[in-house]
Chains A and B, each alone.
Chain A
């Protein structure tokens, strides 16, 4: 495989990782919302709001990792563009 192919594969890996992170964040937020709604019901477990907060914290961590991966993707796109120009 050429250097361009290697660089494109790495870019594809980063895009795939970003896709997984967007899904993870959405799932964490959905779970937090579900538990928040359940916490408002009569007789709800007092722990539910706390657990919902933990899911929101997960979503925030995933959001931070998403930005890191996005920056890595931008850098990788530059590598691909440079290698293509040199090829």
Chain B
């Protein structure tokens, strides 16, 4: 009789243990699943919600800048060991003007407009160089992988490129070489993203 009582007690204890463990597991599941909170909105995010987000520019989008409506013809994505940035080729159908818009996030959003120098008479290399009467200092140099995206979503190009960037105050000067091609030279200046009005393609 005592043996039966002991066996029943052991079975009941085991059943109670299993039930407790299940409840704890269930409670653990619930407690472990974090509720998704909406991301905090910064003043910059509020502005982007109003005027368009330059970080999401893509071929086919339109951008208004200094009273001109540009179309994004092409986007180039760069990757330098995990550090990424984009450059967008903007074109104005009225004047035929073309310029590049670079967008990168590095301690904040950095946006700059660039125009190509048609026949450059300078070469990259020295720590300092003079161009168009200004003394520029070399800021950085490196190489990156790139790929292009064009309006219509056609297959883009990809490869590697080298760059050397100089600055003279707010004026920028960059040398870029794609593959084994010649150096391409552009002058630029940093601008506030809020100077741009983005009209995304619907």
Contact = CB atoms under 8 A, between A and B. Distances in A.
B62 A19 contact: yes
Contacts, number: 43
Q: For the complex, would chain B's binding face be called helix, strand, loop or mixed by DSSP majority?
A: mixed
B50 A16 contact: no
Given A16-B202, A19-B201, A22-B69, A30 B93 contact: yes
Nearest to B49: A8
Nearest to A26: B93
B62 A23 contact: yes
A16 B200 CA distance: 6
Contacts of B202: 16, 19-20
Task: Choose among A8, A23, A66, A70 the residue with the greatest number of B CB atoms under 10 Å from its CB.
Answer: A23
Given A20-B202, A22-B69, A66-B69, A29 B62 contact: no
User: What are the nearest 5 A-B pairs in CB distance?
Assistant: A26-B93, A16-B202, A19-B199, A22-B62, A18-B199
Interface of A: 8, 11, 15-16, 18-20, 22-23, 25-26, 29-30, 66, 70, 77, 80-81, 84
